[in-house]
Structure 1
Amino acid sequence: MKTVHEIAPIFLKNEGRIEAPVHAVLPGPARAALIERELRGAMRHEVIAELPLYPEQRQCRRPTTEQVLRLFSLAQRHRLLRDGQTVQTFDADRHRVCA
């Protein structure tokens, strides 16, 4: 199996070619860490020891960004339109943690 750089090598001949991958890659983990830190801080503030984030509603003490985003990935909202105007909005059932 080849790595990304073996398939499409990055030739670092100038600063722009060095900076572009860094600006594309680094913000992701930083945002993930920020989401986790904020969530765990809120859990401490609200005195919540665990959240039911694992499959089958099993409890999780240290939720990860991936687990939290998975909850919201299937979020749906439906709008009833009449002549291009919203008449009513329906939110689909959400996981009880998201409510």
Structure 2
Amino acid sequence: MKWKINDVNVKTDARSDGMFPLITNCKEMTHGEILEKYKYQPKIEKRHEQLKTVYGVAPIFLKNITRIEALLFIYFVAHLVQSLIEREIRINMKKSGMESIPIYPEKRQCASPTTDRVLSLFDDMKCQHLTNDGTLVKTFNPKLNDIQITILDLLNMPHLTYSQYY
């Protein structure tokens, strides 16, 4: 059995490479507006993807409609908090004239910090208590590094919130 490339099909496929249809039932929007709405979609889908990957949300079986609604509300609040953290940092970066901040490993720069990356900078925060027979002798408060201080400043949060425990 012999085979050969069908040149006509290859040329036809090459002409439509990279094209995709946008189908909608919305008659009030222009083609340009439909395309704009479509281009915004990955930002929304990225948030949903982060729920599964970053935050480890897994499918669960709920029979009660109020529990389903409550869980969806919690997802919504998680999205909202995540968005607000990123928005606050990015707005204050612009106000401060910062194009990027060194939050990646090896102090590599990041122009659009994500909530996951920002919160991971505080993973190693620990407060140590030295006790003797159940009596507190001394508390060793964590020390903030320069990037943690920068992040707290961009979020308008007092440094003592993370560096001093009572």
Q: TM-score, normalised by structure 1?
A: 0.72
Q: Residue 77 of structure 1 aligns to which amino acid in structure 2?
A: C
**Structure 1 or 2: more helix by fraction:** 2
Determine the C-alpha separation between the residues in 2 that align with 1:92 and 1:20.
36
How does 1:1-99 map onto structure 2 within 5 Å? 4=59, 8-12=60-64, 14=65, 16-79=66-129, 84=135, 89-99=139-149
For the pair shown, the structure with the greater C-alpha radius of gyration is 2
Determine the C-alpha separation between the residues in 2 that align with 1:58 and 1:80.
36
Alignment-derived partner of residue 52 in structure 2: none
Determine the C-alpha separation between the residues in 1 that align with 2:80 and 2:97.
25
Conserved 8 A contact 1:52-1:58: yes
Conserved 8 A contact 1:52-1:97: yes
Q: CA deviation at 1:79?
A: 4.7
Q: Which runs of 5+ in 2 are unaligned?
A: 1-57, 150-166
Q: CA deviation at 1:88?
A: 5.7
CA shift in 2, pair 1:93/1:19, >3 Å = same
Residue correspondences, number: 91
Conserved 8 A contact 1:71-1:95: no
Q: Residue 54 of structure 1 aligns to which amino acid in structure 2?
A: Y
Residue deviations 1:39-70 (CA, integer Å, cap 9, x gap): 00110111111111111111001000011000
Determine the C-alpha separation between the residues in 1 that align with 2:100 and 2:90.
10
Percentage identity across aligned positions? 32
CA shift in 2, pair 1:89/1:21, >3 Å = same
Conserved 8 A contact 1:53-1:67: yes
Q: Residue 78 of structure 1 aligns to which amino acid in structure 2?
A: Q
Q: How much is the aligned-residue C-alpha RMSD, in angstroms?
A: 2.4
Q: Which structure has more RCO (C-alpha within 8 Å, separation ≥ 6)?
A: 1
